[in-house]
Amino acid sequence: MSYERVEQCPVCGKSDFRPKMVVEDYSVSHESFAIVQCTNCSFLLTNPRPDAASIGRYYESQDYVSHSDTNQGLINQVYQVARSFTVRQKVALLAKHAPRRGRLLDYGCGTGYFLAAAQKAGWQVAGLEPNDTARQLAEQHTGQPISPGDLNQFEPASFDAITLWHVLEHVHELNPTLKQLTRLLKPDGVLIIAVPNAESPDAQYYREQWAAFDVPRHLYHFTAKTMTRLLRKHHLQLRQTLPMKLDAFYVSMLSEKYRAERSGGLLAALRSGYKSNRQAAQNGGQYSSLIYVATKDAKTGAAPEKA
């Protein structure tokens, strides 16, 4: 097992971090990992973390439903039902914000349900997925090859839309990946990124047991402020921020499970999810997960800021 320490903040480039909390990996290893915060821009990251060659074993669990597609247990069954609803929402969102129904890249496509739905809606789809099990399922669902993850195979400005559904927080090479994805986007194309929100009411309530910290698989823990700054760094203009309201319930169910003897079970999770969404609606839209819709900034041709 090899670990790496991030020496510079990926968002602002500064090198001063303060300890934020220590979080247990509840779903696979039960090891503990430190989350630190940049003293300059407040970006949160898991640091140190397993390097790219070592992270794979932390995904080796049937409980990791986005890779295994399991329907064992109540939480995974809820996930499956919710997914059928959210996939339709994602395709509708894509149709609303993309300039045309053309080429779509889903980066980290998991088991391919979203890609298959977009394909059915008339999109020409491509997917990247490093996990072998998930990639095989995605190929079954789409009927086409899915790449393990090489962005260099695509021509510049070749996609009308690029999506990352709860993927960016897993990417070791954050800035190089965003730079490549921006390169692949057409001048009028749209980039859609969904990530957990570390400032949500449910994050504040569950703290170290908030399931969406998901260390060490989640390397970064975004807020609206740090995501906006990261997009701007890559000359991407934030057009809209949208909620993923069902995430508050799913994350609360997992978080209650992690609380063990203090857990109130399903009813407590439902109350927590409802309360989180209500507070988010009343206080600036700080939902459990947020979707960021961005386009290229046409006003600048300058090189991205240094990381």
pLDDT single digits (tens) 205-225 = 999 999 999 999 999 999 999
Q: Is residue 45 situated within a structural domain?
A: no
- Tell me which residue range forms the domain holding 149: 63-296
State pTM to two decimals: 0.91
The percent of residues above 70 in pLDDT, for the chain, comes to 89
pLDDT (average), residues 234-251: 96
Residue 144 belongs to some domain of the structure: yes
Domains: count for the chain: 1
Would 139 be classed as within a structural domain? Answer: yes
Output the DSSP codes for the chain. --EE---S-TTT----EEEEEEEE-TTTT--EEEEEEETTT--EEE-SEE-TTTGGGGG--TT-HHHH----SHHHHHHHHHHHHHHHHHHHHHHHHSSSS-EEEEET-TTSHHHHHHHHTT-EEEEE---HHHHHHHHHHHSS--BSS-GGGSPTT-EEEEEEES-GGG-SSHHHHHHHHHHHEEEEEEEEEEEE-TTSHHHHHHGGG-GGG-TTT--EE--HHHHHHHHHHTTEEEEEEEE-THHHHHHHHHHHHHTGGG--HHHHHHHHHHHHHHHHHHTT---SEEEEEEEE-TT--PPPPP-
Residue 47 lies in a domain: no
Which of 147 and 84 is assigned the larger pLDDT? 147
What confidence tens digit (pLDDT) does each residue in 28-76 have? 999 999 999 999 999 999 999 999 999 999 988 766 555 555 555 555 5
Which carries the bigger pLDDT value, residue 302 or residue 163? 163
**For the domain that residue 209 is a member of, what is the CATH number?**
3.40.50.150
Q: What average pLDDT is seen over the chain?
A: 91
Residue 24 covered by a domain: no
